[in-house]
Amino acid sequence: MTLDDAMTAAAKAVEDQLDRLLPVSDGREKRVHEAMRYSSLVGGKRLRPFLVLESSKLFNVSPSCALRVAAAVEMIHCYSLVHDDLPAMDDSALRRGRPTTHVQFDEATAILAGDGLLTRAFEVLADPASHGDPQVRVELVSALAAASGPAGMVGGQMFDLLAEHDSTLDIGAITRLQRMKTGELIAFSSTAGAILGKAPHVSRAALAAYAHDLGLAFQIADDLLDVEGDAAEVGKDVGRDVDAGKATFVSILGLERARAQAGLLAKQAAAHLESFAEKAELLRQVAEFVVTRRH
Amino acid sequence: MTLDDAMTAAAKAVEDQLDRLLPVSDGREKRVHEAMRYSSLVGGKRLRPFLVLESSKLFNVSPSCALRVAAAVEMIHCYSLVHDDLPAMDDSALRRGRPTTHVQFDEATAILAGDGLLTRAFEVLADPASHGDPQVRVELVSALAAASGPAGMVGGQMFDLLAEHDSTLDIGAITRLQRMKTGELIAFSSTAGAILGKAPHVSRAALAAYAHDLGLAFQIADDLLDVEGDAAEVGKDVGRDVDAGKATFVSILGLERARAQAGLLAKQAAAHLESFAEKAELLRQVAEFVVTRRH
């Protein structure tokens, strides 16, 4: 199976799982449930869930458990997009080629839909259907909360907002920002299979090292797309960082060096997976994919 | 010890615990950490944490475990206040006698502070320090997520926003709204001790019944304060429901009957605690307190 086929199949499976896990209601509160579905059921590369599913295969984790964890991670990712797109934050009108949630619904509903996705993610992880061993479930909750909380994604978004018009950030600061804002959730996704499979420390460390390089490569590629991409193809507004005079990997390194660095990190990421032999082939290809994608 | 002394001592202990559990940082993201602290470290009755601590005493739960769970519940409560106060939601400028978080900081920071408190609450519950048994921790995560998620508090806030100018709601609809918006978190708080203490089903059911009546009494008292209270004493804007032409327990029942109903529910709540004898004395007094409080 090619990576493209595998990612398409995984995205479909994750969407079906999200559809089953997200609430429906006949009550007045159904508006927020509809907004949660609107924010998460359509589109996206579903990269993070794919990492959960592929890392789970390395340790022969039950596919039904892996799929629930994959859906929970995607809920967290989608909540972060809904809140980041709000007028008070990045003020984005377009996401995945469609109106953002606050444009389609309204701001209050978008805030609540994000809150609902975030909360539901932890409820899903804590459910016995996600793993038979409560120790594993609680470890998943703990790791996902750490990755997405005030020392992780939430802190990273704060940092990012404050750095919006700051052209003085250096590579160290941008790398730290990236690690918090996107890197830790990618790291959780890449190591979730090891948690589910109760894998030995050495396997977890290999996946964490892979995720570290992958996350950085991903962010540099994102910065490149912001400069070189086409809004229709990328599915969201582009050119915003340049317009804001914001320091990015590209503004500091220049296009050529940024592209080279992303390629190097992708190769380095793949190299960490040697011990998994051919079982990790798709994870290796993902590293290549994130730096060559057009959206 | 009088109830007042006990609540004051508990509030102090919870604030110290929150202070220990909330993040600090020297990085640029410290703004969101400061906002999380601003939103949760000062004031409030700390009713929900008090319920956690008192229900824990019924089953001889370790005070240090109970205090962590109490702080986690308060994080959830405070996040909900921060988001509800936002301009897109209730647009409140005053809370606990101080500027609301988005007024003191800004909207983006307030949204992120809420997200951070919500996420950190689950991280705290999942930590081994909250209980030695992972089954108990995962049960706490599951119950708190259900109470505060799209079928609980988040759904209730959506319902409430949509009902803002609706004078046609009947008692059934208002009761359902209240149960989702405030009742389920009060129920979690009242039964958390039973989860921590691995109490038998009959004890959990008694506490759940207590919480059901207590939550409803609390909401009716809140509606009464909105009509009869003084902003300076209540610590937040009053008269908003009347101004909005919103149906409340008071608008439907009238002042007299609403007051009588709140009193009846408080007595009924206390009666559910008979089997705990004198150990539940403060919980009984809390029921009386919620309907006689002036703030």
The yes-or-no verdict on residue A5 having pLDDT over 80 is yes
According to the model, what pLDDT value does residue A16 have?
A: 97
Distance CA A132, CA B286 (A): 39
A169: helix, strand or coil: coil
Q: Is residue A71 within 8 Å of A56, Cβ to Cβ?
A: no
Closest CB to A158 among B22, B31, B176: B31
List pLDDT tens digits, range A34-44: 999 999 998 78
Q: Cα separations (Å) of A254 from A173, A227, A247?
A: 17, 11, 11
Distance CA B61, CA A206 (A): 40
Pairing relationship of beta strands B94-95 and B98-99 according to DSSP bridges: antiparallel
Q: Is residue B17 within 8 Å of B71, Cβ to Cβ?
A: yes
According to the model, what pLDDT value does residue A62 have?
A: 98
According to the model, what pLDDT value does residue A42 have?
A: 85
Closest CB to A118 among B22, B115, B151: B115
Question: Quick one: average pLDDT of B272-285?
Answer: 97
Determine which helix (DSSP H) or strand (DSSP E) holds A99, and give its type and residue range.
Answer: strand A98-99
The yes-or-no verdict on residue A232 having pLDDT over 80 is no
The yes-or-no verdict on residue A165 having pLDDT over 70 is yes
Closest CB to B109 among A126, A158, A180: A158
Read off the pTM.
Answer: 0.95
Q: Does B132 touch chain A (CB under 8 A)?
A: no
According to the model, what pLDDT value does residue B58 have?
A: 98
CA geometry: angle A285, A290, A294, nearest 5 deg: 120
Q: Cα separations (Å) of B186 from A21, A46, A266, B62, B132?
A: 25, 37, 49, 21, 24
According to the model, what pLDDT value does residue B238 have?
A: 64
Q: Is residue A7 within 8 Å of A48, Cβ to Cβ?
A: no
Among residues B23, B97, B83, B120, the alpha carbon closest in space to that of A88 is found at B83
According to the model, what pLDDT value does residue B131 have?
A: 98
According to the model, what pLDDT value does residue A226 have?
A: 85
According to the model, what pLDDT value does residue A44 have?
A: 84
According to the model, what pLDDT value does residue B228 have?
A: 84
According to the model, what pLDDT value does residue A233 have?
A: 63
Q: Which of A91, A122, A188 best tests the B interface by mutation, with the highest count of B CBs <10 A? A: A122
Backbone angles phi, psi at A267, to 5 degrees: -65, -45
pLDDT grade, residue A242 (50/70/90)?
Answer: low
DSSP at A176? H
The yes-or-no verdict on residue A143 having pLDDT over 70 is yes
A132 versus B96: the higher-pLDDT residue is A132
The yes-or-no verdict on residue A230 having pLDDT over 90 is no
Question: Quick one: average pLDDT of A205-216?
Answer: 97
Q: Round the average pLDDT of chain A to a whole number and report it.
A: 93
Q: Round the average pLDDT of chain B to a whole number and report it.
A: 93
> Which residues 86-125 in chain A show a CB within 8 A of chain B?
86, 88-89, 106-109, 111-112, 114-116, 118-120, 122-123, 125
Question: Quick one: average pLDDT of B248-253?
Answer: 90
By CB neighbour count within 10 A (0-12 exposed, 13-18 middle, 19+ buried), where does B26 fall?
A: exposed
Cβ-Cβ contacts under 8 Å between A and B: the total is: 173
According to the model, what pLDDT value does residue B245 have?
A: 74
Q: Does A33 touch chain B (CB under 8 A)?
A: yes
Nearest C-alpha of chain A: how many angstroms from B119? 5
Q: Does B42 touch chain A (CB under 8 A)?
A: no
Q: Is residue A108 within 8 Å of B88, Cβ to Cβ?
A: yes
Question: Quick one: average pLDDT of A195-213?
Answer: 98
A94: helix, strand or coil: strand
The DSSP annotation for chain B comes to --HHHHHHHHHHHHHHHHHHHS---SSTTHHHHHHHHHHHSS-S--HHHHHHHHHHHTTT--HHHHHHHHHHHHHHHHHHHHHHTSTTTT--SEETTEE-HHHHS-HHHHHHHHHHHHHHHHHHHHSGGG-S-HHHHHHHHHHHHHHHSTTTHHHHHHHHHHTTT-----HHHHHHHHIIIIIHHHHHHHHHHHHHTT--HHHHHHHHHHHHHHHHHHHHHHHHHHHH--HHHHSS--SHHHHHT---HHHHH-HHHHHHHHHHHHHHHHHTTGGGGGGGHHHHHHHHHHHH---
According to the model, what pLDDT value does residue B150 have?
A: 97
Distance CA B285, CA B7 (A): 11
Buried residues in B41-51 as b, exposed as e (16+ CB within 10 A): beebbbbbbbb
Whose tokens are 């159904």? That residue is A30
pLDDT grade, residue A215 (50/70/90)?
Answer: very high
Nearest C-alpha of chain A: how many angstroms from B18? 14
According to the model, what pLDDT value does residue B234 have?
A: 60
What domains sit in chain A, N to C, each tagged with a CATH number?
3-292 (1.10.600.10)
By CB neighbour count within 10 A (0-12 exposed, 13-18 middle, 19+ buried), where does B254 fall?
A: exposed
> Which residues 252-291 in chain A show a CB within 8 A of chain B?
none
- Say which range, A151-165, A241-255, B87-101, B263-277, has the weakest mean pLDDT: A241-255
Distance CA B44, CA B60 (A): 26
The yes-or-no verdict on residue B235 having pLDDT over 70 is no
Among residues B39, B34, B189, the alpha carbon closest in space to that of B114 is found at B39
Distance CA B10, CA B18 (A): 12
DSSP at A149? S
- Say which range, A58-67, B176-185, B213-222, B224-233, has the weakest mean pLDDT: B224-233
- Which residues of chain B neighbour A145 with C-beta distances below 8 Å? 119-120, 122-123, 126
Distance CA B90, CA B71 (A): 25
The yes-or-no verdict on residue B231 having pLDDT over 70 is no
pLDDT grade, residue B191 (50/70/90)?
Answer: very high
pLDDT grade, residue A246 (50/70/90)?
Answer: confident
The stretches of chain A forming alpha helices (DSSP H) are: 3-21, 30-40, 47-57, 63-84, 101-104, 107-126, 134-148, 153-162, 171-178, 184-196, 201-228, 231-234, 240-244, 249-271, 281-292
pLDDT grade, residue B227 (50/70/90)?
Answer: confident
Question: Quick one: average pLDDT of A61-76?
Answer: 98
Question: Quick one: average pLDDT of A277-282?
Answer: 96
The yes-or-no verdict on residue B239 having pLDDT over 90 is no
According to the model, what pLDDT value does residue B43 have?
A: 76
- Say which range, A161-170, A188-197, B60-69, has the weakest mean pLDDT: A161-170
- Say which range, A228-232, B124-128, B235-239, has the weakest mean pLDDT: B235-239
The yes-or-no verdict on residue B258 having pLDDT over 90 is yes
List pLDDT tens digits, range B47-71: 999 999 999 999 999 999 999 999 9
Count other C-beta atoms under 10 Å from residue A225's C-beta: 18
According to the model, what pLDDT value does residue B126 have?
A: 98
- Which residues of chain B neighbour A112 with C-beta distances below 8 Å? 83, 154, 157-158
Q: Cα separations (Å) of B100 from B40, B74, B79?
A: 11, 17, 12
The yes-or-no verdict on residue B121 having pLDDT over 90 is yes
Among residues A87, A103, A79, the alpha carbon closest in space to that of A22 is found at A79
Q: Does A13 touch chain B (CB under 8 A)?
A: no
According to the model, what pLDDT value does residue B153 have?
A: 98
Distance CA B48, CA B192 (A): 10
According to the model, what pLDDT value does residue B237 have?
A: 64
Q: Which of A86, A107, A130, A138 best tests the B interface by mutation, with the highest count of B CBs <10 A? A: A138
The yes-or-no verdict on residue B155 having pLDDT over 90 is yes
